């Protein structure tokens, strides 16, 4: 048997990502490591091979002559390993699907509808990852993500837009009684949610009111908590309409002013490009598209 002499896999992954993206920074973001780690891995590969793989130019990198020869070979090898690994996993593990979803979307929209998927596809076990830590899709933790983004363009991912959503301002019926015209909102407390603190001003501007922002007070780390605070009369919350439609219908929340405004981004299902033909991902995608 011929003894194979190969460099460490981590150095090949770093080289392939950096060569494909032509950026150490972008490669670091994709592999979820630091830019310094990518630089060290590439340098380690260059020492192993005894030649430069990249030309370091001001503000950018380019493949060297040797790097340009090596890159397609490494990319093809890693692609083959990844595809075959996926095939083996599919054949030897029970069908399951981990869905990354924001906790508010899980509780207020997805979970009430999930039983219909389980009835249609009882052979696919669905697991929800509703961690608050990741706003963007994390392919290391989930098979598919239900996310909101303004930039559906990260490399190696497939984005399927499910819906564009409108922001609506809602509050408890008691607070709504005091809001007759937009100017009445100035006496209200707007409940702040991390990462969406500009939404209140955006919505207020749609009703003709400027200079509005969340007042000093509790900062919630999810729309779920802010919505519950609004139901309990603590202020006005501005959220995507589909998260509070049931509350509006039930009368626990009221939209005091008939106005909404389009969110700048969209709601997407996202998964790794190379996994798009997997049965569990394909069936979930088709099912949720029918709902949206």
Q: Quick check: 203 and 169 in contact, CB under 8 A?
A: yes
115 pLDDT band (50/70/90 cuts)? very high
Cα–Cα distance, 215 to 226 (Å, whole number): 14
| Residue 162: per-residue pLDDT | 93
pLDDT tens profile 21-69: 999 999 999 898 999 999 999 999 999 999 999 999 998 999 999 999 9
pLDDT tens track for 116-129: 999 999 889 999 99
128 beta partners? 99
Give the confidence band of 138 by pLDDT, cuts at 50, 70, 90.
confident
Q: For the segment 154-177, what is each residue's pLDDT rounded down to a tens digit? A: 888 999 999 999 999 999 999 999
pLDDT computed for residue 174 by the predictor: 95
Read off φ and ψ for residue 266, nearest 5 degrees.
Answer: -135, 170
| Closest to 29 (Cα-Cα) out of 139, 191, 103 | 139
**Gap between the Cα atoms of 62 and 241, Å rounded:** 47
| Nearest alpha carbon to residue 155 among 2, 11, 20 | 20
pLDDT computed for residue 167 by the predictor: 93
Using one digit for the tens of pLDDT, what is the confidence trace for 58-108? 989 999 999 999 999 999 999 888 888 877 766 655 578 999 999 999 999
Task: Return the pLDDT at 144.
Answer: 95
Walk me through the domains of the chain, giving residue ranges and CATH numbers. 9-91 (1.10.10.10), 95-164+266-291 (3.40.190.10), 166-262 (3.40.190.10)
Contact 220, 229 (CB under 8 A): yes
Give the C-alpha separation, 24 to 71, whole Å. 15
Model confidence over 186-231: pLDDT tens digits? 888 888 887 776 788 888 888 888 877 655 457 788 899 999 999 9
Using alpha carbons, select from 15, 76, 25, 79 the residue that is nearest to residue 45: 15
Q: What is the pLDDT of residue 291?
A: 85
């Amino acid at each position: 048997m011929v003894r194979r002499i190969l460099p460490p896999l981590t150095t090949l992954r770093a080289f392939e990502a950096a060569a494909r993206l032509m950026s150490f920074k972008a490669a670091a973001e994709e592999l979820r490591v630091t830019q310094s780690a990518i630089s060290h891995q590439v340098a380690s590969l260059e020492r192993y091979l005894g030649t430069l793989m990249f030309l370091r130019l001001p503000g950018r990198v380019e493949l060297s002559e040797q790097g340009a020869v090596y890159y397609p070979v490494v990319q093809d090898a890693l692609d083959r390993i990844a595809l075959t690994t996926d095939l083996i996993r599919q054949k030897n593990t029970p069908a399951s699907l981990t869905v990354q979803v924001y906790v508010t979307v899980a509780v207020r929209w997805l979970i009430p509808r999930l039983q219909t998927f389980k009835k249609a596809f009882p052979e696919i076990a669905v697991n929800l990852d509703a961690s608050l830590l990741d706003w963007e899709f994390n392919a290391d933790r989930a098979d598919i993500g239900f996310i909101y983004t303004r930039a559906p363009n990260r490399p190696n991912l497939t984005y399927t837009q499910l819906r564009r959503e409108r922001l609506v301002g809602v509050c408890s019926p008691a607070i709504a009684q005091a809001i007759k015209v937009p100017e009445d909102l100035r006496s209200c407390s707007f409940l702040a949610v991390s990462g969406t603190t500009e939404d209140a001003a955006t919505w207020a501007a749609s009703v003709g009111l400027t200079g509005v922002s969340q007042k000093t007070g509790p900062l919630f780390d999810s729309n779920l908590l802010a919505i519950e605070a609004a139901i309990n009369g603590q202020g006005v919350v501005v959220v995507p309409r589909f998260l509070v439609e049931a509350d509006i219908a039930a009368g626990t929340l009221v939209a005091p002013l008939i106005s909404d405004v389009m969110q700048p981004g969209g709601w997407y299902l996202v998964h790794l490009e190379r996994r798009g033909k997997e049965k569990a991902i394909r069936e979930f995608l088709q099912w949720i598209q029918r709902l949206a």
